[in-house]
Structure formats: C-alpha cells, structure tokens
Amino acid sequence: MQKLKIRTVLGLILLYLAILLNLEWVWGILFLIWVIPDLFSGITYFIEPVEKKSSPLLYWIIMISWLWMSLYMMATPFFPELYGESYKVMHPAKESGIYQDTFQSNLNLNSLDTPLNHNATSVSQKANKPAIKDSLKYKSYAQKETHYFVGISADMNINDPDIEKHTNELWEYFYTNDISQVISDIIDERIYFIYSKADNAGNYKATIAFRTQGIDNLYEGLEGLSIPPGKYAVFEHKGKNADHFITNTWAKIYESDLAVANGFNMEVYTLDNDYNVEKAEIRVAIQQ
C-alpha cells in the first residue's frame, strides 16, 4: 500500500490557500519549508541543481534570496509599512498633477456622481414631489475653505443596471489594497465616499478617499480631488445599522424638496478600533 506523504499533502494545502485567499504570509512559510532542507543538504534547486561545494557563491545567493523573501512575506501582515515601501518602489511618484486611476481603466466602469445631481428630473417633476423637507433632520455645515482628498476613483452612470455591482467592486478594491500607506499628509482617518458632479446623461465619478493637506506628488493609480467652499446639509447616524441609515436617508432626500446644488456630495465613515462603522454621515451640497 502506498504510503501517504503527510508533509507533501500539507504543502499542497498551503499552496492552494496562498493562491485562492491571496495570503502572502503563507508563501513565506512555503519558502521557509523549501529552504531549510537545502541548508542541511548543501544542494538547492533553481531551474537546475546548485551545489554548495561546486558553486558556493551562487548557492548562498539563492539561499539568502529564499530566506529574505520568506521573512519579508511573513512580516508584511504585521508591518504594513513594508507594503507601502514596496509600493513606492514599484509606483514612483509623479512630479505633479492628477492621474487616471488604474482601477478605472482595468474595469472599464462608467463615471460616478451622485444621483441627486442627475438633471433628468425636470423642474416640473420636482415641483410635484411631496414636500417632506420638514421630516428631514439635518445640520447645516458651511465649508469655508478648499478641502483636498486622495483615493481611488471609478466612472459610473446612474442608469447602469450594474451600478451597485461596480460600486461594490470599488469598495472591495479599496479594502484589499491599503492605499493609506502611500498617501502623504492624511488629515484624519475617516473614509470619504465622494460623488463628483453629474452631467445630463447621468455620468458621475465615485471616489473612495482620505482627506489630505494637498494633492501633489500622487502615486500611480491614485486620484486627487479639490472640493471648493460650499454649504452642506449633514445627516448623521451613530452606532449600528449604518447601511440601513445610508439607504433610507438617500431615499428620503431624493423625494424631498431639499435645494440640492450640483456639487460634490459624500458619505463619511468613522471607524472604531475594530474597523466597524462608529459614525456615518451624508453630506449633500445645497444652494447657498
């Protein structure tokens, strides 16, 4: 009866976990498992066998490379700044300006702006809507200076039947790529989901970003936004059920007679230490 090779089976399981779940630290463990026996045998393999006795320099170069990659991969989950440094090497800073988001070009999404600014709703239609402004409780907020944001963007269209799917893809990309490591001068840790100005066709841009002191020297794949001074209606929610609050509040705003301006609207999320939403806000640009 054929003997079951337990270590080989466990190695294959780790290999599949590393690939399917994108676990970089598992690759580190695999590299370590591969390199330890070679240290005792004096023979390693890279394309072809390399012996310590006959090719000592090449042998130690390969062994040190395996050990370095192993330690690096196992360390990145615990020291995320290492990822940031490698990102900077692979994506050198541009001298100035705002650059197209690689996420946008890869997915071929249509531009995203808040449905509130979609001019397909005529003035007469809006006049026939029930005036429920009094049922909307909000705070007035006057932004007196230009605010800057840096993040990832995607172009969308309000009439796209897959708009929710594309929005979820943007959030997934944001959460699986810690862009905060490569953004300079972040002012606060809140997450801003920004809807840029819409056109008559319903095209608009969605940006998930951090607020920063400026938008200079952006890394490839990131986009900067400058939001000028303006007046906002702010709707706030603390505690659980943030998704329910966001959905219901937008629905009420759509049906209200709130004097919406064609500007930047946003959702603002404050997270607790466990990365749960502690506070959610909707900021709607209104006429001054």
From the number of C-beta atoms within 10 Å of its C-beta (0-12, 13-18, 19+), residue 150 rates as buried
pLDDT 10s digits, 79-88: 554 444 444 4
In three-state secondary structure terms, 274 is coil
- The residue among 103, 285, 114, 282 whose CA lies nearest residue 199 is 114
Average pLDDT, 10 consecutive residues per value, the chain (288 residues): 71 78 75 83 85 88 85 70 46 35 34 36 36 65 93 90 90 87 88 88 91 88 92 90 88 87 90 86 89
pLDDT 10s digits, 202-258: 889 999 999 999 998 888 889 999 999 999 999 999 888 888 889 899 889 888 888
Task: Quote the Cα angle for 92-93-99, to 5°.
Answer: 110
Q: Where are the beta strands (DSSP E) in the chain?
A: 43-46, 48-51, 139-143, 147-157, 191-195, 203-212, 223-227, 230-238, 265-271, 277-286
* Number of Cβ atoms within 10 Å of the Cβ of 280: 21
Give the residue extent of every domain in the chain: 6-79, 102-286
113: Cα separation from own chain's centroid: 17
User: What are residue 149's DSSP bridge partners?
Assistant: 211, 225
- Amino acid, res. 265: N
Show Cβ contacts of residue 84 under 8 Å, excluding neighbours closer than 6 positions.
178, 181, 182
Burial 83-119 (b: 16+ CB within 10 A, else e): bbeebeeeeeeeeeebeebebbeeeebbbbbbbbbbe
- pTM for the structure as a whole: 0.56
Separation of first and last alpha carbons in the chain: 83
In three-state secondary structure terms, 284 is strand
User: What are residue 203's DSSP bridge partners?
Assistant: 157
Q: Looking at the domain that runs over 102-286, which CATH code has it been given?
A: 3.20.80.10
